[in-house]
C-alpha cells in the first residue's frame, strides 16, 4: 500500500478571499456541491476561483461506492425548488460553463433525470450564454432516462467509468462497467453533437494495460473527452491508496489517449472529472 505523499503530490494550497465568499453563497442558497460532499482536494482552489460543481437531488446517495465520501443512506424527497437555486448560484458566481452532477437516486423511477432537465432549463434561463455539462449516474441503465437528459442537449454529457472492470466488485459493487459504456454510446448515437466525457481514478491497484483497455473501450463508444486522476482516500473508512502514480505515467496516458483519438485528455495527480472542466472543451 502507498505510504507518505511523494514529492510530486505536494503543492501549494490556493486560498483567496473568494473562498469563504463562495462557501457562504452556496450555504445561503442551500445548494450542494460535490466539491464539499466528496471532500475534493481542489476545493480551495475552485472556490477561490468562484467556481463549483453543483450536486443536485440532495446530498445523500443510495449507493455505497467504497471510494466516495458522499453521504450514503435514504435520501429526502426531490426538492422542486432546487433547480432555481442552482441557477441562481451559477448566476451569482458568474459562471460561463456550469457543471451539474448528482447523487445516485436508485429510489426514483427515472433516477432523477427530470431534475437534471429542469436544472439545465433553469440555468439557461438565468445564463443564456453559458455552456452546460452534466455528470450523471448510470440511471440503473434506464434508457428512457438517459435519453431524456440527452434530449435537453447539454454541451457535454459526462459519465465516469471510475476504474477498470476487474476492480468494480471492490470499488463500486453496485455499478456495471458495460452499463456505463452503453450509456455513453446511447448518448452519442442519439445526438452526435454532444461531447461525451468520462473519467477514471488510478492508484487503486490497476495496471497500465488495464487503463489502456478502458481507454480503448471508451473510444469504441466514441467518447470524446477523458480525465485521469489520482485516487485519494477520503477517510480511513474508505479504500486505501495502493500506489501514487508518477507524472511520467500520466504523460504516457495523455500521449496514448491522443493517439487513440480523444479530443482532449487531462491526466495528472489532482485531475478530477469536473476540475477546470471549461478548459477541456476549448
Return the pLDDT at 157.
98
How many other β-carbons are positioned within 10 Å of the β-carbon of residue 186?
18
- Annotated binding residue 223: no
- Annotated binding residue 68: yes
- Annotated binding residue 46: yes
Using pLDDT thresholds of 50, 70 and 90, give the confidence band for residue 15.
confident
CA distance linking residue 225 with residue 4, whole number of Å: 31
Complete domains list, the chain, with CATH? 13-280 (3.20.20.70)
Per-residue pLDDT averaged across 258-279, rounded?
Answer: 96
For 21-47, how does the pLDDT look when each residue is reduced to its tens digit (9 = 90+)?
999 999 999 999 999 999 999 999 999
For 197-219, how does the pLDDT look when each residue is reduced to its tens digit (9 = 90+)?
999 999 999 999 999 999 999 99
For 235-250, how does the pLDDT look when each residue is reduced to its tens digit (9 = 90+)?
888 999 999 999 999 9
CA distance linking residue 7 with residue 35, whole number of Å: 24
Nearest by Cα to 137 from 169, 87, 170, 176 = 176
- Annotated binding residue 61: yes
- Annotated binding residue 91: no
| More confidently predicted of 64 and 74 | 74
Using pLDDT thresholds of 50, 70 and 90, give the confidence band for residue 278.
very high
Amino acid at each position: 500500500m502507498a505510504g507518505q505523499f511523494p514529492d510530486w503530490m505536494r503543492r501549494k494550497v490556493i486560498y483567496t478571499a473568494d473562498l469563504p465568499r463562495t462557501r457562504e453563497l452556496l450555504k445561503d442558497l442551500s445548494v450542494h456541491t460535490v466539491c464539499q460532499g466528496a471532500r475534493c482536494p481542489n476545493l480551495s482552489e475552485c472556490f477561490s476561483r468562484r467556481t463549483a460543481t453543483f450536486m443536485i437531488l440532495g446530498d445523500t446517495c443510495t449507493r455505497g461506492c467504497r471510494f466516495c465520501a458522499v453521504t450514503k443512506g435514504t435520501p429526502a424527497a426531490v426538492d422542486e425548488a432546487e433547480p432555481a437555486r442552482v441557477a441562481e448560484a451559477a448566476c451569482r458566481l458568474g459562471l460561463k460553463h456550469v457543471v451539474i452532477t448528482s447523487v445516485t437516486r436508485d429510489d426514483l423511477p427515472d433516477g432523477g433525470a427530470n431534475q437534471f432537465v429542469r436544472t439545465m432549463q433553469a440555468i439557461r434561463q438565468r445564463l443564456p450564454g453559458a455552456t452546460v455539462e452534466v455528470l450523471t449516474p448510470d440511471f440503473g441503465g434506464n434508457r428512457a432516462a438517459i435519453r431524456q437528459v440527452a434530449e435537453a442537449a447539454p454541451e457535454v454529457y459526462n459519465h465516469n467509468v471510475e476504474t477498470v472492470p476487474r476492480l468494480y466488485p471492490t470499488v463500486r459493487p453496485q455499478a456495471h462497467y458495460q452499463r456505463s459504456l452503453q450509456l455513453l454510446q446511447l448518448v452519442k448515437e442519439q445526438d452526435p453533437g454532444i461531447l461525451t466525457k468520462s473519467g477514471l481514478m488510478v492508484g487503486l491497484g490497476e495496471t497500465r494495460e488495464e487503463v489502456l483497455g478502458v481507454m480503448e473501450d471508451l473510444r469504441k463508444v466514441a467518447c470524446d473527452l477523458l480525465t485521469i486522476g489520482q485516487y485519494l482516500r477520503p477517510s480511513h473508512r474508505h479504500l486505501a491508496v495502493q500506489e501514487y502514480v508518477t507524472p511520467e505515467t500520466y504523460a504516457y496516458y495523455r500521449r496514448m489517449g491522443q493517439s487513440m483519438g480523444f479530443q482532449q485528455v487531462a491526466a495528472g495527480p489532482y485531475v478530477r472529472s469536473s476540475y477546470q472542466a471549461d478548459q477541456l472543451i476549448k
